[in-house]
Chain A
Amino acid sequence: MPEYILELHGITKLFPGVKALDNVNFQLKAGEIHALMGENGAGKSTLIKVITGVHQPDAGEIILDGKKVSFKSPRDASQAGVAAIYQHVTAYPHLTVTENIFMGHEKRTYGFIQWRTMHKEAQVLLDALKVDFHATDLMGSLSVAQQQMVEIAKALSTNARIIIMDEPTAALTRTEANRLYEITEKLRDGGVAIVFISHRFEDMYRLASRVTVFRDAKYIWTRNVSEVSEADLIHAMVGRELTDLFPKPELEIGPEVLRAERLSCTGFFKDVSFAARRGEIIGITGLVGAGRTEVMETLFGVAKPDGGALYLNGAQVQIRSPQEAMQKGIGLLTEDRQHKGLILDWGLGRNITLAELSQFSKLGFINEKAERVTAKDLAERVDTRAKTLFDLAGSLSGGNQQKLVVARALTSKLDVLIMDEPTKGVDVGAKAAIYEIMGELAGQGMAIIMVSSEMPEILGMCDRIYVMCEGRITGELSRTEATGEKILELAMKKDGKTELGETG
């Protein structure tokens, strides 16, 4: 048996005007977990699509089990034992788990679908993954983490020997990520080779034995994880030293702009109180599902609170719609950029200017030239990695889409900017750029509210940190007193017994 189960030699993939992969190599051993790292747009996703037969390479060869192969379609790859679990779960929410698992390779006898057999087999797969849902559940009723388990079961149902996971932990909580680690290791022990893509260094150190880095469509190196330091990795990915990951400026904190008092929304959160001052970056953290996003959407007028009060610059306000929120100076960068943030069918430029069209128009008439100038300026500032201002937002990778969302916030004159998971799925270089912009905006006197599950950025960027658990604020920490342990402890404080919450 050859040493490598899968080898790629000199793969080049061209798209009109873009070299997405430039003469790259990749070698995967049987039974290893191999981390694939690189900035957004470095070519990782294209490589996966080449391995899974979605794209055909323009040059180079793919060798599977020592034999040269060419995958004409995902079906070819799947039959050869290659499966991928994508960044965005590609599920059918209205179908059952079983149907999702067997989609495309249903069990049939004389053309009749064998439901009972399929449910049984699906349940066996799910039991092996030790999940807490059933094969007959509807996909749409599951959490993101659970849906990912279904995707893994789906990969297993095709008897995959190579499983590629594209940022599987991006949307998971810590506990869920731990479950995923265990399952991934179990798969490896069972002889499956795994390619693991993630922006979290933590994932790589925890799981992978070897790591390959890509930068600007080129292969950089492959090394053993045990011999690689975080600084080496960053250098390889970014191509330069990143001296300061968290460029938090020391700012004069101004007067209070926003204060929430005992905001409540039945079923989501209760008695949430906090305040933000000019020039301040406050963090709101806690586990996914703690009600953070719901609180923010209430501030932005998407949902109505059923109790409590909101004060803006000292005066009580009611915010009934996003439009009203923006008129009053509150902006929100949503976590769900695909559905709520961007119009994927539109070019970059129009996405950036959408919220503030009036800046470029007189009496409702849009000055498209002025619009383009501003859009170009902002898109370059966040470095979206696109070629033209008219590239579709949907054609950008997840991280670059996030930069686009950030660029939009730069058009608005705001007092308060809420950033919900601003660096989710974003590479290390772009993260630094986003943090830098956060600092700049705070320097202009904005109050920034950052909602995040990423401990390092919460600790690195925030002046004050509120921790939420199950719809309540369980604690407030200053920059100096905050540590990872303290935050975790507060995030798990399930009974909610603090001076703010009541016993419920």
Chain B
Amino acid sequence: MSEVRPKRILDATPPGDLKTRVMRWEFLLLALLLGVIVLGVNLHHNFLAPNHLFNGISVFLVRGLIALSMAYCLLLGEIDLSVGAIVVLAATLLGVVFNATGSALLGLLTALAVGLLCGALNGLILVKFRELPAMIVTLGTMILFRGLSERILGPANIGGMREVTWFANLYHGRLGPVPYFVIFFFVLAGIFWFVMHKTTFGRHMFAIGANRTAAEYAGINVGKTRLIVFSISGLICGISAVFFSSWVGSVRSDVGLGYEIEAIAMCVLGGMSTAGGKGTLPGVLIAVFIIGLLRYALSLVNVNPETVRIILGALLITVVTMQNVRRFVRKKTAPAN
């Protein structure tokens, strides 16, 4: 066919007009975050006092850390229910090793290694038995890991880590008014953002979540990606366990209860689709602060934990339904065909 068809030129400038940007979920979340801050300031005059504020932030970032890696699991269309159990197992073994050797560094390394291994175990099971849903596998390992730490600890607790100054400073130390931990969190969040949105690994995660078969046919190593993501999830739990130990200074077997639920709630509020393939890390980051600061504000005025739960639950349901309404409106106005 020698005749040349008039070539149709494709527009390759990324869509980025003001309206679509403002309509993005992250901006609505930012407005919500602002609302929470305004509420907080009105509830208590000390809400923005750096000392109080950073204390409050540090407390929820122990869980906020896990939302970062949970976002990756959800992006793949998977879920990791074992995160809370990995935190407690890692913290338990940190305490055991510390008490046995007297070395906080050995304890810290143990916690990281335990986290990584637990995550890798989840990943390996999922890769070996491809058709098993992550929800079931990690439900199983959640019970297993928690059972292990209950067996090791019994009703007792292990403590003393805070006697080691540098270890206590991991959580409590500050650069000016800003805790090292908060700085660490933002650096980590930056890395998570970069990997998710700017690298081939991130693109592969999006592809697997959106259409696993198509990703496989495009030559993406789906098994390897899943293994890595679940290992990261475990490692982050190990890190969370380290900061928890540095914060509280002791471990009981009921540590980390409900972490998985909170991390998932933060991700979903942040716009991660539980079906996989959709979401942004900035969204999750903002959602971490919405939930965290709201908790902090309510704790300042001594609202009891039951009421906090009711408020958080109601907020989550409201926002998530809003998200659906918004999608519906968009569908109505978007071209069909």
Contacts and interface: CB of A to CB of B under 8 A. Distances in A.
Interface in A101-140: none
B313 to A, nearest CB: 30
B199 A361 contact: yes
A364 B201 contact: yes
Interface stretch (A143-151, A203-211, A318-326): A318-326
A380 B335 contact: no
Nearest to B334: A16
B207 to A, nearest CB: 6
A54 B200 CA distance: 39
A345 B210 contact: yes
Contact of A340 (B1, B210, B213): B213
B99 to A, nearest CB: 41
B207 A343 contact: yes
A102 B213 CA distance: 32
Given A241-B3, A340-B213, A388-B15, A395 B10 contact: no
B198 interface: yes
Interface residues of B, number: 37
A59 interface: no
Contacts of B336: 15, 49, 54-55
Contacts, number: 126
B11 interface: yes
B129 interface: no
A432 B210 contact: no
Given A322-B219, A379-B10, A388-B10, A45 B337 contact: yes
B41 interface: no
A201 interface: no
A240 interface: yes
Contacts of B254: none
Contacts of A321: 216, 221
Contact of B214 (A340, A376, A387): A340
A332 B277 CA distance: 24
Contact of A341 (B14, B217, B277, B334): B217
A49 B336 CA distance: 10
A429 B336 CA distance: 25
Contact of B7 (A247, A346, A348, A383): A383
A385 B15 CA distance: 18
Given A49-B337, A339-B214, A380-B10, A390 B219 contact: no
Interface in A1-45: 15-18, 20, 45
Interface string B1-30: 111010111111111000000000000000
Interface string B184-200: 00000000000000111
A429 B5 contact: yes
Q: What are the 5 A-B residue pairs with the smallest beta carbon separation, nearest first?
A: A15-B335, A326-B219, A388-B11, A355-B218, A376-B12
16 contacts: A15-B336, A302-B216, A302-B217, A321-B221, A327-B219, A334-B217, A339-B214, A340-B217, A343-B207, A344-B211, A357-B203, A365-B199, A375-B12, A384-B10, A390-B15, A395-B337
Interface of A: 15-18, 20, 45-46, 49, 54-55, 240-244, 247, 300, 302, 321-323, 325-327, 332, 334, 339-346, 348-350, 354-355, 357-358, 361, 364-366, 372-373, 375-376, 379-380, 383-390, 395, 408, 429, 432-433, 436
